[in-house]
Amino acid sequence: MGEGTRDEIRKELESEMEIELQSATISGARQLLRHTLATLAYRGGKAVIDAPAGFAALRIGDSTRTPAEILAHIGDLLDWALWLARGEHRWHDSQPLPWPREVERFFVALEQFDVYLASAAPLIWPAERLFQGPVADALTHVGQLTLLRRVAGAPVRGENYARAEISAGRVGADQSALRVEFD
């Protein structure tokens, strides 16, 4: 084998390794994004399921959103994230549905986005951008709902979330009953 042949083989191997590394990074980023959605489902579920009567309409100031408006916005963010992942920029400001339907919409939107991320479909917007935009915003708003639960006199129990049973793909209302909660 001549030097030219070795150089060609080395370059080909380096190119293949780079493609494999990029592929692993992409799938790793998608997997982390899927785990983030599962975390959003777990924490969001604690904030919205079994909310007290009247919680959806709670308004703490003239310029603040109600919990129903916040949850509708989260649904819009998740819809937007799915559109971005597919390569389209579509935004819709939804009017809040009745609370049980809005809670259902939250989990359906999570599931639709997760199914797309789990598929082999191309991710047109990078996972990092999807995280920094709509997903991080949704996490922020779940925190707002949790705070509003406390204001409404029905606080979400604190928990060691690092020990919670959260796994990619588990994005529905049916979450692990094993909790490491504290008061």
In this model, does residue 2 exceed pLDDT 80?
Answer: no
Query: Which residue is it, tokens 């690092």?
Result: 162
Spell out the domain ranges in the chain: 3-182
User: How do residues 148-179 score in pLDDT, each as one tens digit?
Assistant: 999 999 999 999 999 999 999 999 999 999 99
Nearest Cα neighbor of 84 from 135, 119, 24, 139 is 135
Tokens, residue 159: 């928990």
pTM assigned to the model? 0.86
Domain 3-182 has CATH 3.50.50.60: no
> Phi, psi at residue 181, to the nearest 5°?
-90, 160
pLDDT digits (tens, 9 = 90+) for 82-99: 999 999 999 999 999 999
